[in-house]
């Protein structure tokens, strides 16, 4: 197996692990902890609780699905985006890019499954410092998508490909 194929296999494994972890924790929060109604809480740490909420929209609750048609449109659009991310992941050659895209893919699949089954995404992670909440309530899928996008942006902004030495040698010397 080539190195590139190993990177892609690892990327698929990361996406699968994110998906499984996301779905398992959602099941744990709803079934094992019994947080099946919006607003129910299970305190874990002084600054972190499991607080049940349902997200009918996408990122930050935008584009909220207020009808059955809109629900299925969101499922379709997010599925198309997940397919684009998967194709993009298989076109990349650098492991850092593949890993970042696999985080996005795994998170997207977890949230798509929720929306498909329930009509909303189950959110539960409530980070707070007293009454200050730096984030909306989220889940593992949301965190993976956010981290993946930040990595992609950071790599795009700060990691530049260096030209081959052969290209530099072929360039004419302008000093003569």
Residue with tokens 């539960």: 124
Candidates 97, 114, 126, 142; catalytic one? 142
pLDDT tens for residues 92-125? 999 999 999 999 999 999 999 999 999 999 999 9
- Domain range enclosing 150: 3-160
Whether 172 is covered by a domain: the verdict is no
Whether 169 is covered by a domain: the verdict is no
Q: Which residues pair with 138 in a beta bridge?
A: 125
Whether 13 is covered by a domain: the verdict is yes
pTM of the model: 0.84
Question: Are 40 and 121 a contacting pair, CB within 8 Å?
Answer: no
Catalytic status, residue 49:
no
Whether 113 is covered by a domain: the verdict is yes
Distances (CA, A) of 44 to 1, 132, 140, 166: 44, 17, 16, 58
Catalytic status, residue 164:
no
DSSP annotation string for the chain: --HHHHHHHHHHHHHHHHHHHHHHHHHIIIIIS---STT-EEEEETTEEEEEEEE-SSGGG-S---SHHHHHHHHHHHHHHHHHHHHHHHH--SHHHHHHHHHHHHHHHHHHHHHHHHSSEEEEEEE-BTTB-SS-SB-HHHHHHHHHHHHHHHHHHH--PPPPHHHHHHSPPTT-
How far apart CA 167 and CA 9 sit, in angstroms, is: 32
Whether 104 is covered by a domain: the verdict is yes
pLDDT band for position 50 (cuts 50, 70, 90):
very high
Whether 176 is covered by a domain: the verdict is no
- Residue 61's pLDDT is 59
- Residue 176's pLDDT is 47
pLDDT tens for residues 117-150? 999 999 999 999 988 988 889 999 999 999 999 9
Whether 168 is covered by a domain: the verdict is no
Handedness of CA 94, 97, 103, 109 (dihedral sign): negative
Whether 167 is covered by a domain: the verdict is no
Candidates 22, 114, 123, 126; catalytic one? 123
Question: What is the tally of structural domains in the chain?
Answer: 1
């Amino acid at each position: 197996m080539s190195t590139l194929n190993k990177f892609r296999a690892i990327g698929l494994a990361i996406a699968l692990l994110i998906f499984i972890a996301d779905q398992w924790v959602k099941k744990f929060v709803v079934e094992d902890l019994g947080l099946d109604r919006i607003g129910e809480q299970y305190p874990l740490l002084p600054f972190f609780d499991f607080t049940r909420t349902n997200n009918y929209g996408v990122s930050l609750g935008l584009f909220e699905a207020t009808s059955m048609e809109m629900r299925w449109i969101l499922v379709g659009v997010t599925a198309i985006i997940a397919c684009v991310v998967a194709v993009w992941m298989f076109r990349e050659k650098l492991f850092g890019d593949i890993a970042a895209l696999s985080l996005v893919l795994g998170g997207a699949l977890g949230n798509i499954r929720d929306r498909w089954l329930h009509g909303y995404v189950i959110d539960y992670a409530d980070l707070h410092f007293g009454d200050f909440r730096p984030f909306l309530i989220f889940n593992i899928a949301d965190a993976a998508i956010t981290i993946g996008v930040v990595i992609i942006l950071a790599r795009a902004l700060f990691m530049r490909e260096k030209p081959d030495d052969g290209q530099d040698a072929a360039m004419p010397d302008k000093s003569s």
